[in-house]
Amino acid sequence: MLRTIVQKQTFSARRVVNVNLARFFSSNSDLKVVGGDGKNRVVVLGTGWGGFNLALNMKSNKPPSEITPEIRVVSPSNHFVFTPLLPSTAVGTLEFRAIQEPIRKVLGTNGNFVQAKAIDLDPDEKTLICESTHDQEKFKIQYEKLVIAVGVKTNTFGIKSIVEGDGIYFLKHLYHARNIRNNIIDSFEKAAVPGTCEEERRRLLSFVVVGGGPTSCEFVAELYDFVTTDIKKLYPELVKYVDVSLVEAGNTLLGPFDSKLQDYTKSLFDSRDIHVRLSTSVTGVEDYEGEGFRFPARKALLSDGSELPFGTMVWSAGLEPVQFTQKVDLPKSANGRFIVDDYLRVKGYEGSIWAMGDSAMNENEPLPQLAQVARQQGMYLADVFNNKIKEDEKPFRYFSLGSMASVGQFKGLYDGSKVGVKGEEVDVPGMTGFVALLMWRFAYWGRQTSIENKILIPMYWLKSFFFGRDISRF
């Protein structure tokens, strides 16, 4: 009887797959195939940490051949963003172009870039369905080997009122940081308009940051430095209205860090009158009207029953799979990530499909969703596709370098607990203060790919220190 049930379930599963494939072919059979048959082609989806480093390390000055594979990068974004420095751009400590690298600059003669979104996949025919970001026209790209490095998107946990815009902003891309920066400047200019009442000034200059991870904490730190240095000089009459709240659903800040560094950060924020609300979540956002208000107003509703009016909300509270990951019919874990083996090959499609970064997970040894994991995976797969190692010769092993964060006022954190590969870790003493900040800055400066950014970043740091941040709105 058990055998009969299994056979029926297997038949049902095959039937679903066949129906999906039939729909796939019927709806996309007339689409144009671009770039040939895909022989000896590695298609990389995404220009994040994994995809960028894979492309960078597969770069060749020789045209594609049997020895040199063609690499074709497909992504709606034509640049890589150095995400650890993204909070710095949101308040003008650094400029946006100093932390990005155009993907075409790192491609060699064997490389090609297509600005499009991958929207579907037929793994049996090795065909990818894409949609141009410019005119939404669909087309097909064929591959011999596919690497999925599409990353993840911001998770709003099903709260319908958390929609980007009108004072609510995510912080994952350059345009997010630009929107935050413009809104911050607008908030101060609106508050400075003669006749704006005090209650509205407090609302406009109230900042709510959701999430207690490194991105949120670093943004709060950058915002604090911005207010206490630049705003204090440029809008001295408005400083007293500024209020910053950090809302975290868990019971600690900087969850992956050592508890001593968590406590250090919490006490540091408390000393700066940054209101840290732990074990509290945002349950929704509402519009409201205040007496004498001139501008539309919104407030955050919290799980403890309280409310926080705000002019700017930065949401950096969670991650969830992107639409492509949700749609394609490949093996996935319970949290929606592609299941890969020790060699980053997607389960059931060994030799043709790999996945890495935030969109992939090895069920036997799950890795944190960190930039350094994706970077190392990209470098590892470059060795595989460059035939330096066979695809099943040497399993990927993540080497933890520790964790760093900038916490404002020329202070930083370094957590060196469990540095190294799993099973061989060593504990490096943790660090706080100015020396930790120098370590943070030198480490991220050294990770820059282009000479331009290695020159620009120190220049902007010096400019911010000596001349202040730019508050121009354009």
Burial class for 151, CB neighbours closer than 10 Å (0-12, 13-18, 19+): buried
Q: What is the pLDDT of residue 474?
A: 80
Biggest alpha carbon distance in the chain?
A: 81
Q: What is the pLDDT of residues 110-156, one digit of tens each?
A: 999 999 999 999 999 999 999 999 999 999 999 999 999 999 999 99
Instruction: Name every residue whose Cβ is closer than 8 Å to that of residue 466 and which is 6 or more positions away in sequence.
Output: none
Which residues lie below 8 Å from residue 53, measured CB to CB, with a gap of 6+? 374, 375, 378, 379, 382
pTM: 0.92
User: What backbone torsions phi and psi does residue 426 show, to the nearest 5 degrees?
Assistant: -125, 155
Distance between CA atoms of residues 110 and 116, nearest Å: 19
CA distance 52 to 211: 27
**What are the structure tokens assigned to 351, written together?**
């030799």
CB of 173 closer than 8 Å to CB of 151: no
pLDDT of residue 1: 39
H-helix or E-strand spanning residue 340: none
Query: Would you say 311 and 318 are in contact if contact means Cβ atoms under 8 Å apart?
Result: no
d(CA 294, CA 291): 9
Q: Which of 84, 80, 14, 85 has the alpha carbon at shortest distance from 53?
A: 80
DSSP secondary structure string for all residues of 143-171: -SEEEE---EEE--TT-TT--SBTTEEE-
Place of tokens 């916490």: 407
Q: Beta strands of 317-452 (E only): which ranges?
A: 319-321, 338-339, 353-355, 360-361, 399-400, 403-408, 411-421, 426-433
Do 220 and 209 touch, CB atoms closer than 8 A? Answer: yes
Among 249, 248, 257, CA closest to 368: 257
pLDDT at residue 29 in the model: 67
Strand locations in 289-410, DSSP E?
A: 297-302, 307-310, 312-315, 319-321, 338-339, 353-355, 360-361, 399-400, 403-408
What is the amino acid identity at position 472? Answer: S
The two structure tokens encoding residue 416? 């060196």
Task: Tell me the sheet residues that pair with 207.
Answer: 244, 312
Low-confidence ranges of the chain (pLDDT < 50): 1-19, 21-22, 24-25
Distance CA 264, CA 240 (A): 26
Q: What is the pLDDT of residue 14?
A: 40
What the block records as the tokens of 27 is 């709806």
pLDDT at 379: 98
Question: Whose CA is closest to 261, among 432, 87, 443, 435?
Answer: 432
Instruction: Name the burial class of residue 220, with classes exposed (0-12), middle (13-18) and buried (19+) by CB atoms within 10 angstroms of its CB.
Output: buried
Residue 24 to residues 10, 172, 254: CA-CA distances in angstroms?
Answer: 21, 32, 43
Could you give the 3-state DSSP secondary structure of residue 407? Answer: strand
d(CA 350, CA 328): 17
> Residue 358 gets which letter from DSSP?
G
In Å, what is the CA distance from 14 to each residue of 8, 137, 207, 367? 10, 31, 52, 31
Nearest to 89 by CA among 206, 210, 218: 218
Distance CA 51, CA 319 (A): 19
- Which helix (DSSP H) or strand (DSSP E) does residue 51 occupy? helix 49-57
